[in-house]
Chain A
């Protein structure tokens, strides 16, 4: 890792930490202007991270040689990118108060990783692995966003149902916008994750001779894929909306978090980079 890469990563981390502080402060003092400023700071951080990743890609002669640091950075970058993209469409700046800490956590985790450790062992490298990783990350990032919007929906819903919107209610985004983000997250996240998983399965079939390696990460991912699939089905076919969808998205996210921790600390897996 070159010193320029390190500086860019440090800048991205600093911007993200500042944006997180700004978002949380804006919730505390109930001023949306702070959240607006934080969105710009986060956008700056996203830009630094983009350069960092591009430089990393150039230096490691291809995406597949990425280290664990890069892998976690891509997670953070994707979540930030989708969130910032949505800011053009909706006035949901306060959603950053939930999103920015998650991005910050990914970046901090990335900072703790050995940057030169190869993500994928050389014998597994190839375009199919890249396809599998990128789509799976993008899908999961969209689910994170859907769940964060769901969590904020529950707070706003609670305030409105209790007839006490107050300052906090005015500050938080509207229910429809949050529900829409939840919808988008599921709608795009699910097919991306599905394709990513298919990519992984096809790769496994070629290399290991079976679609279904008995790997804990694969089993957990499949379970989470089913949960999100169920949510999307209920949303599109049955017409579930609003508070029920929000609550279930939060539960699904907790399950996702739990699975990540359990896999990381309790099992040995071929996906041992997170």
Chain B
């Protein structure tokens, strides 16, 4: 059976996550140590800034969950209170569901973000390299990746940007189509402006101009983006050149006025101009928005778009939960079938042994027969054995899945004397 133990950003404060993260990171043979815990057959360790989780295939759930919890408490130096409030432990379907939700980014801080899938894949790769996984976990992880892919393609959970800087990039694409070769003018400096600029460059924008009151500071930033630095006095000219303007100065009044924009638009022959004003107080005169072919977005406009997208993601998450439910059921069925597998294998093995022993005995008189006849007899015997075994095998699988019952498997072992 599958269990999952761990903590995440919802259950544990940063300080606790940090401690556990560092504790686990420092330990080289973490998986090897986990594997020696009584009852643990296969294990995987996922560690990101938002969560530390262990996924394991175990013989007995309750005791192993406790053992894994105390393992994590030890490594994270968690107090008893912290351990009981922060650590969660899931088993069977709940554990599978949690893992699928994590991999599909439904449990992430920013729902729908793409990073988590890569992190889970890394964790799996590590476990695989150390032979810490087996049949059950391998299948589970592949199901998890498949689920994440389905959630991504069948729902719109990752479709629309939920950060202000990405929202600005999306808008730029809606205005310019492609951002290749587009010129960006950054006025002032700020984390958000830089982030937006980085995303724009990532999408193909090339030419960067940085304008700042202090030329030295502008040069510093321009160097980072291989761009050109100018003082605020040369702003008019730069405005005529640029396609996208990101402004975030600390100036108390408008740095870009309506007249400046109108004037530059005439000079640039009415080419479209996208202005992003993320300063507080605002840098660009809102009246500039009334000019044709100028698209001015301030921080509130962008935030509104982000809020709308977050709402959409929540709606899409409901669809994703449906997909996860389906996938959990399919995996759980396979897992239940797995219980009957060793018995089915030994039953078939025993049958094959009997067939080959009996055919061996008959070899003396079968030697007189033609080759083709001999082959026909062998095929007939195999076919009879398969037909006889078909029903018990099917019933064992069905019973395991439908009633999660071991009785019929035990009965089969006894009836066919498989343990002798």
A174 and B176 in contact, given A161-B295, A241-B271 (Cβ under 8 angstroms) = yes
CA distance A166 to B174 in the complex (A): 11
Please tell me if the beta carbons of A174 and B269 are within 8 angstroms of each other in the complex.
no
Interface of chain B residues 240 through 274 with chain A (CB within 8 A): 269-272
User: Taking the nearest CB of chain B, how far is it from the CB of A3, in angstroms?
Assistant: 45
Please tell me if the beta carbons of B272 and A175 are within 8 angstroms of each other in the complex.
yes
Please tell me if the beta carbons of A242 and B272 are within 8 angstroms of each other in the complex.
yes
Please tell me if the beta carbons of B175 and A176 are within 8 angstroms of each other in the complex.
yes
Please tell me if the beta carbons of B177 and A91 are within 8 angstroms of each other in the complex.
yes
B292 within 8 A of A: yes
CA distance A169 to B175 in the complex (A): 10
User: Taking the nearest CB of chain A, how far is it from the CB of B256, in angstroms?
Assistant: 18
Contact of A160 among B174, B269, B304 (CB under 8 A): B174
CA distance A205 to B177 in the complex (A): 48
CA distance A239 to B270 in the complex (A): 6
B160 within 8 A of A: yes
Please tell me if the beta carbons of A241 and B269 are within 8 angstroms of each other in the complex.
yes
Most chain B beta-carbon neighbours within 10 Å: one of A90, A163, A174, A244: A163
Question: In the complex, which residue of chain A has the Cβ closest to the Cβ of B297?
Answer: A163
Question: In the complex, which residue of chain A has the Cβ closest to the Cβ of B289?
Answer: A161
Contacts of A239 in B (CB 8 A): 269-270
Please tell me if the beta carbons of B174 and A165 are within 8 angstroms of each other in the complex.
yes
Question: In the complex, which residue of chain B has the Cβ closest to the Cβ of A238?
Answer: B269
Please tell me if the beta carbons of A170 and B175 are within 8 angstroms of each other in the complex.
no
B50 within 8 A of A: no
Interface string of B85-108 (1 = CB under 8 A from A): 000000000000000000000000
CA distance A179 to B170 in the complex (A): 18
CA distance A131 to B152 in the complex (A): 54
User: Taking the nearest CB of chain A, how far is it from the CB of B156, in angstroms?
Assistant: 9
Contacts of B174 in A (CB 8 A): 156, 160, 165, 169-170, 174-175
A240 within 8 A of B: yes
Contacts of A179 in B (CB 8 A): 272
Contacts of A160 in B (CB 8 A): 171, 174-175, 295
Contacts of B160 in A (CB 8 A): 170
Contacts of A165 in B (CB 8 A): 170-171, 174, 305
Interface size class of B (residues with CB under 8 A): 20 to 34
B308 within 8 A of A: yes
Which secondary structure dominates chain A's binding surface? helix
B293 within 8 A of A: yes
User: Taking the nearest CB of chain A, how far is it from the CB of B416, in angstroms?
Assistant: 54
Question: In the complex, which residue of chain B has the Cβ closest to the Cβ of A156?
Answer: B174
CA distance A170 to B271 in the complex (A): 21
CA distance A239 to B292 in the complex (A): 13
A177 within 8 A of B: yes
Contacts of B308 in A (CB 8 A): 166
Please tell me if the beta carbons of B177 and A177 are within 8 angstroms of each other in the complex.
yes
A243 and B292 in contact, given A163-B297, A166-B308 (Cβ under 8 angstroms) = yes
Contacts of B177 in A (CB 8 A): 90-91, 173-177
B382 within 8 A of A: no
User: Taking the nearest CB of chain A, how far is it from the CB of B265, in angstroms?
Assistant: 10
CA distance A240 to B268 in the complex (A): 11
User: Taking the nearest CB of chain A, how far is it from the CB of B232, in angstroms?
Assistant: 27
Please tell me if the beta carbons of B175 and A175 are within 8 angstroms of each other in the complex.
yes
CA distance A176 to B179 in the complex (A): 11
CA distance A51 to B175 in the complex (A): 39
CA distance A8 to B177 in the complex (A): 37
Interface string of B30-68 (1 = CB under 8 A from A): 000000000000000000000000000000000000000
B350 within 8 A of A: no
Contacts of B270 in A (CB 8 A): 239-242, 244
Contacts of A90 in B (CB 8 A): 177
Please tell me if the beta carbons of B176 and A241 are within 8 angstroms of each other in the complex.
no
CA distance A165 to B304 in the complex (A): 11
Interface of chain A residues 163 through 203 with chain B (CB within 8 A): 163, 165-166, 169-170, 173-177, 179
Interface of chain B residues 277 through 310 with chain A (CB within 8 A): 289, 292-293, 295, 297, 301, 304-305, 308
Question: In the complex, which residue of chain A has the Cβ closest to the Cβ of B160?
Answer: A170
Contacts of A174 in B (CB 8 A): 173-177
CA distance A80 to B332 in the complex (A): 52
User: Taking the nearest CB of chain A, how far is it from the CB of B54, in angstroms?
Assistant: 40
Interface of chain A residues 224 through 249 with chain B (CB within 8 A): 239-244
User: Taking the nearest CB of chain B, how far is it from the CB of A180, in angstroms?
Assistant: 8
A241 and B295 in contact, given A91-B177, A173-B177 (Cβ under 8 angstroms) = no
User: Taking the nearest CB of chain A, how far is it from the CB of B321, in angstroms?
Assistant: 21
Please tell me if the beta carbons of A241 and B272 are within 8 angstroms of each other in the complex.
yes
Question: In the complex, which residue of chain B has the Cβ closest to the Cβ of A173?
Answer: B177
Interface string of A60-92 (1 = CB under 8 A from B): 000000000000000000000000000000110
* 24 A–B contacts from the bound complex (CB under 8 Å): A90-B177, A156-B174, A160-B174, A160-B175, A161-B289, A161-B295, A163-B297, A163-B304, A165-B171, A166-B308, A170-B170, A173-B177, A174-B174, A175-B174, A175-B272, A176-B175, A176-B176, A176-B272, A177-B177, A240-B270, A241-B269, A242-B272, A244-B270, A244-B292
Which 5 pairs of residues, A with B, have the shortest CB-CB distance?
Answer: A239-B269, A174-B177, A242-B293, A241-B270, A163-B301
Q: B-contacting residues of A (Cβ < 8 Å)? A: 90-91, 156, 160-161, 163, 165-166, 169-170, 173-177, 179, 239-244
Besides A161-B289, A165-B170, A175-B177, 13 more A-B contacts (Cβ < 8 Å) are: A165-B305, A169-B174, A170-B174, A174-B175, A174-B176, A175-B174, A176-B177, A177-B177, A239-B270, A241-B269, A241-B271, A241-B272, A242-B292
